[in-house]
Amino acid sequence: MKKYITFSTLSAATLVLAVVFAGAAFGGDLLKIRVGADSSSFSYQFRVAKGGGIFEKYGFDAEVFTFSYGIDTLNAAILGETDSAQAADFAVASRLSEGNNLRILAHILTYNIDGTLLYTNDPSIKGAEDLVGKRLGVQKATVNEYVWGQLFTKQGIDPKNVEQVYLGSNTELLAAFQAKEIDALWVSREYESAALEVENGRKLGNYELAGFNPRAYVLLDKGFIDANRAKIPDYLRALDEATAFLKERPDEAAKIIAKDLKIPADAARAGIDTYKYEIRFLQEDLNDVADVAAWSIENGLIKNAYDVKETLYLDAIKEAFPDRVGVK
């Protein structure tokens, strides 16, 4: 049985030696893997696994490519530009409905209900009901678009009675918010300080306004899986150790992330609290993707019906963490 060194037992001085010894334990060359990661706290597990030497420890030569959103990591993997993708449920459901070689490996995180906030810069907007007739910043084809749809349903707002302004990145959204080109947007904790600096910028509420709390998943290309089946459980073990590092040593993790994303360490630290990170795949996770797909098909956001079970590859997580799998 292989013995894995955990970050909780390591000091900074022994980290390099631990990586060297662990790499030797795996033997042979490291497996190259191209990892697609988004530009926010959504991708922190992957950045800590890379920057903290965890991928290398588990036998991977990982190259992390940064994209604006999770949907972009899916697109890159579908095009063969990367091997691994990470995205929230709506983006996953949307792309899998098109038929491709991506397979869901595991749940990686669930949003904290108070981790993403609805902000406005319009003094006339006192509550969600006042969004009628307003300009809303939307990240098209991402879970953000789905969250807006859920908010409209819960608050009884006809989508035709708002102007959805589609923008391509968090930077563009914040710039439009600052320029008063949009009246409201969803802001994660790491960007909240920027929203507060905008004149009249203030919080309306959290995801309770939409009655929905998104989840996210890691996916691999089927060709990569088929060629490296014995190594896929170690990919999840690496992500799990990175998850533990985020939870147990958030300040150190924030420094790694800040260096990689070139953001302030305090912003990176705030971003860690946006999500509940956990490697698993339970029936509730399967239901989440299936329910999002069904609602999106019914409401015209996704065209093709499909069986989500056919898009799963659970052999790896069953081997790595058998007590964290529960699918009927």
pLDDT tens for residues 290-311? 999 999 998 888 889 999 999 9
Per the prediction, the chain carries an average pLDDT of 90
CATH architecture for segment(s) 116-209:
3-Layer(aba) Sandwich (3.40)
> How many whole angstroms separate alpha carbon 123 and alpha carbon 240?
44
> How many whole angstroms separate alpha carbon 177 and alpha carbon 179?
5
Mean pLDDT in residue range 101-111: 97
Question: Is there a shared CATH topology between the 7-112+214-326 domain and the 116-209 domain?
Answer: yes
Looking at residue 222, its pLDDT comes to 97
The model's pLDDT over 81-94, given as tens digits with 9 standing for 90+, comes to: 999 999 999 999 99
HSE (CB half, 13 Å, CA atoms) of 37? 25
The full set of domain ranges for the chain reads 7-112+214-326, 116-209
Q: Which residues contact 158 (CB under 8 A, 6 or more apart)?
A: 152
Say if residue 1's pLDDT is above 60: no
Say if residue 15's pLDDT is above 60: no
Q: What are the structure tokens assigned to 272, written together?
A: 């860690």
> How many whole angstroms separate alpha carbon 90 and alpha carbon 233?
25
Q: Work out the pLDDT band at 28, boundaries 50, 70, 90.
A: low
Say if residue 320's pLDDT is above 80: yes
pTM: 0.82
Q: What percent of the chain has pLDDT over 70?
A: 91
Which CATH number applies to 7-112+214-326?
3.40.190.10
Say if residue 223's pLDDT is above 60: yes
